[in-house]
Amino acid sequence: MKTLIIFCTTILLPLTGVFAQTLNWHNIDGGKKNVVSVNAGWDYANTIGLAYTRVVMTKMPIALSGQFSKPAGNDLLDDFKSKLGGQIRLMTAGNFAVAASVYGNYRQYQSSMAKLQSFGCELTAIGGYYRAHWFLAMEFGFDKAIATRIRGSDWMKQNFPSSKDGWYVPTAGNFLFALQAGGSIKNVDLFLRAGQVTDQNFKSSAQVPFMAQVGVNVKF
């Protein structure tokens, strides 16, 4: 059963783990408090995502966000990831800015072996150079599946009668190293992200250890 847990959570974590939303911190305070984002890319599978963000202007601007992403496919809710949380701009120095994000997430993965439901958290640090019409930044993030519920399929129970359904704590975690780049035109941001995913022990990676994402933010 331990082998099953490791195998399944290794698949589950990178499935739709897009980490923090990409924002141009230079023009986040331009009076547009709402941001709707659509993205697509490769993150272990072809993925699509949707997000809504509300900007709260304080001394350190905060972007509160709800996000949903899933692999491309016919079944809407067999595999997916949802998360709630936000980002905060910690400091600026000229055109340089540093931000951090915290998200709680819920994800689901289903196969012929088992159905997995996982609760976890994501922590990300972002630093880069931001101008009114473009930006370039680096990000470093950690995605941890804190608790995972595994429910074996009929096939699993027939072939591995010793397997048991239940919650397992903790399970797995992944680090992400990525670059962000984007351009901004009026109330629209176009962005691109690309990076590498590795496990929390730095000893192995996902089957495809690279991710890439392209998306658009519309501010209003």
Which residue in this structure is represented by tokens 């305070």?
Answer: 29
Tokens for 82, please give them: 């949802």
Task: Please give the pLDDT value at position 73.
Answer: 66
Task: Please give the pLDDT value at position 206.
Answer: 60
Which strand (E) or helix (H) includes residue 42?
Answer: strand 34-43
Residues contacting 166, CB < 8 A, separation 6+? 149, 150
Task: Please give the pLDDT value at position 112.
Answer: 78
Smallest CA-to-CA distance from 21 within 68, 56, 61 is with 68
End-to-end CA distance of the chain: 49
Task: Please give the pLDDT value at position 173.
Answer: 85
Task: Please give the pLDDT value at position 35.
Answer: 96
- Collapsing DSSP to helix, strand or coil, 9 comes out as helix
Tokens for 126, please give them: 């972002």
Q: Taking CA 85 as the corner, what is the angle to CA 183 and CA 78, rounded to the nearest 5 degrees?
A: 90
List, in order of start, the domains of the chain with CATH numbers.
Answer: 2-219 (2.40.160.20)
- Largest interatomic CA distance in the chain: 63
Give the predicted TM-score (pTM) of the model: 0.84
Task: Please give the pLDDT value at position 217.
Answer: 96
Question: Chain-centre distance of CA 65, in angstroms?
Answer: 12
User: What are the pLDDT tens digits along the chain (220 aa)?
Assistant: 555 554 555 555 444 555 678 999 998 877 789 999 999 998 767 889 999 999 999 999 999 999 999 887 666 667 889 999 999 999 999 999 999 999 999 999 887 788 889 999 999 999 999 999 999 999 999 999 899 898 888 787 787 877 788 888 877 788 999 999 999 998 999 999 999 988 887 766 666 688 899 999 999 9
Query: Contact, 114 vs 4, CB < 8 A?
Result: yes
Query: Contact, 141 vs 13, CB < 8 A?
Result: no
Burial class (CB in 10 A: 0-12, 13-18, 19+), 157: middle
